[in-house]
Chain A
Amino acid sequence: MTWIININKCMRCGGCVSVCPTAALELRDNVIRDEKLCKLCGLCDQACPVDAIKVNKP
């Protein structure tokens, strides 16, 4: 169960934040994730326009 962001690919667009149902993501200088809120649902991975997020579901 992992959530990985490639900050070299990330455009800081916040697309991942917009589709997160649990408000686990926030865009500051980088996208930050609240591990307690994240359900590893993978919607951010699907929405990301630049393939920067990888969620390996359990």
Chain B
Amino acid sequence: MIDAVIVGAGPAGTCCAKKLAEAGFSVKVYEKRAEIGAPKRCGEGLSEASQNFVGKIPERCIAQRMKGARLYAPNGRYLDAILTEGGFILERKVFDKWLAEEAIKAGASVQANTFVSGLLKDSKGYYTGVKGEFMGNEFEEKARVVICATGAESPIRTQVLGVYSKVNLVDSCIQYEMTNVDMVPDMIHIYLSNILAPRGYVWVFPKGEHRANVGLGIVPQEKKPGAYMEEFFKEHPEISKGSIIEVNAGCVPVGGLVKDMVTNGFVLCGEAANHVNPIHGGGIKEAVISGQMAADVIGECLKKNDVSKTALSKYNDDWWELRGNHLKRVEKLRETLEKLSDQDLNDLVDALKPEDIIEFARGAKLSILAKVLMRKPRLVGIAMHLL
């Protein structure tokens, strides 16, 4: 029997594995996909400050450095917010493999193309391992604790803890990686518009001079993101003239943070627990943090030989104190912003100062947003709602 088995080799799973292995525990990570990091699951943006958690990111993982964000109002006016620390557009296919290598260097074992088909459970109701399939062969791996780092796309979280994403709390997304597009390369480009992307936004994240991830997320509905993208393309020939070299799709949780992420011998982390920033939909940083926090608590529990729900629930407390309460406030901010009409958004971009946006990107200064909204008489009602 090993100490921990982790389902999913994304950033949550491998960062959890690395910490557990460093603490001397035996860890195995199973990845369903044939290639770790592929297909990519997101726009690949990450703030430079995230290196405080993930460590120094090697150059080979970075497609483009960015200095800030260009925020476009529905009327086409834009505002540049220059970040003091900047950020990266990653190559997730390289980055996720690097994280896996880091875990392996620390002593963990990682295996791709391995489907976890079920969980093992003992007579006392503790989860005690996984059933899996690799290259057509079925196997069982017994472990003292099971960590579910599958992302939102697995029924395991639903089977064990009843966790799923409410349909109105996901953004339905499509993304094209394109070449031969013309964009200012060292900024991420965010287009706000209720017509182009109801509730969500359109993003263009450059990956070098003429390459970019062009994506769009919307509240799920009958009209699909691809149809909205066609309309965005009509208005943006500088982008639509490019060629599509990769297509990604997905549903990103933008709310529904999970109160209780543990049970006997079982822990949820990363996007499986909906750990995503509800305003921009970014999940890499939250995945890394929750994977590491889970590892800290699981390590303590393994040392005491107690992986009961009660012992593991320290992870609930720690995560909610460090991240959950903050992300809950960000979710409230998103709920407020999604009430804005296109005219409100035009007014908002006019009223914002670049430094305001940076505060929002950090996610918590609702009183600052309220103050900004107060600058425009039309927006006072929404400001009052925030306060």
> Residues of A with Cβ closer than 8 Å to B?
11, 13-28, 43, 46-51
Q: Given contacts A14-B152, A46-B167, A47-B220, are A20 and B158 in contact (CB under 8 A)?
A: yes
Interface of chain B residues 138 through 173 with chain A (CB within 8 A)? 151-155, 158-159, 164-167, 170, 172-173
Give 1 or 0 for each of B227-254: 1 = CB within 8 Å of chain A CB.
0000000000000000000011111010
* Residues on B with beta carbons closer than 8 Å to the beta carbon of A46: 167, 220-222
Total count of chain B residues near the partner, CB < 8 A: 29
Query: Do A14 and B250 touch (CB < 8 A)?
Result: yes
A46 — nearest CB in chain B belongs to which residue?
Answer: B220
Query: Do A49 and B167 touch (CB < 8 A)?
Result: no
Q: Given contacts A23-B155, A48-B172, A49-B226, are A18 and B221 in contact (CB under 8 A)?
A: no
Interface of chain B residues 273 through 319 with chain A (CB within 8 A)? none
* Residues on B with beta carbons closer than 8 Å to the beta carbon of A49: 172-174, 224-226, 249-251
Check if B203 is an interface residue, CB within 8 A of chain A.
no
Query: Do A18 and B249 touch (CB < 8 A)?
Result: no
A-B contact pairs, 28 of them (CB 8 A): A13-B153, A14-B152, A15-B153, A15-B170, A15-B249, A15-B250, A16-B251, A17-B152, A18-B151, A18-B164, A18-B251, A19-B166, A19-B167, A20-B164, A22-B158, A23-B155, A23-B159, A25-B155, A27-B154, A47-B172, A47-B220, A48-B172, A48-B224, A49-B172, A49-B225, A49-B226, A49-B250, A50-B249
Bound Cα distance from A25 to B251, whole angstroms? 15
Contact among B153, B220, B222 for A17, CB-based, below 8 A: B153
* Residues on B with beta carbons closer than 8 Å to the beta carbon of A43: 167
Q: Which of A16, A19, A20, A27 has most B Cβ within 10 Å?
A: A19
Bound Cα distance from A47 to B172, whole angstroms? 6
Query: Do A13 and B249 touch (CB < 8 A)?
Result: yes
Query: Do A27 and B153 touch (CB < 8 A)?
Result: yes
Interface of chain B residues 174 through 189 with chain A (CB within 8 A)? 174
Query: Do B226 and A50 touch (CB < 8 A)?
Result: yes
* Residues on B with beta carbons closer than 8 Å to the beta carbon of A27: 32, 153-154
Query: Do A50 and B224 touch (CB < 8 A)?
Result: yes
